[in-house]
Amino acid sequence: MKYVFRLVVGFVILNLIQCTTIEDDKSFFFFHMSDTQFGFFNKNEDYIQEKINVEKAISEANRLRPKFVIVTGDLVRIPGNSTQIVAYKTVADQMRVT
């Protein structure tokens, strides 16, 4: 399933790039983040390191102001874990892409 998702994401990215003529807009770029995996570092005890890592990435994305941001891979360690999902969403809400 992951392979199919990545294949689809790659196809979408290629189509988005084709829709923009790079010579016309030299500032076109996007930001890619992957595998935030909330719950990975401390075996689901807390999400301190994950929060630090994602906040750094989001801070850079906000500073760089890309056309769009793509987040791929595992967002949380355990699929469907509501605590991990809420922790991820709370940090991800800091994204300010215009």
Does 79 fall in a domain? yes
Question: pTM of this prediction?
Answer: 0.70
The pLDDT score that the predictor gives to residue 6 is 56
Does 64 fall in a domain? yes
Does 11 fall in a domain? yes
Domain hosting residue 37, numbered range: 2-92
Give the pLDDT confidence of 44-93 residue by residue, as tens digits: 899 999 999 999 999 999 999 999 999 999 999 999 999 999 999 999 99
Does 72 fall in a domain? yes
Does 15 fall in a domain? yes
Count of the separate structural domains present in the chain: 1
What residues contact residue 97 under an 8 Å CB cut-off, 6+ apart? 31, 61, 62, 65, 66, 67, 68, 69
The pLDDT score that the predictor gives to residue 27 is 77
pLDDT band for position 24 (cuts 50, 70, 90): low
Does 84 fall in a domain? yes
Does 9 fall in a domain? yes
Whether the CB-CB separation of 84 and 21 falls below 8 Å is answered with no
pLDDT band for position 37 (cuts 50, 70, 90): very high
The pLDDT score that the predictor gives to residue 28 is 84
Does 98 fall in a domain? no
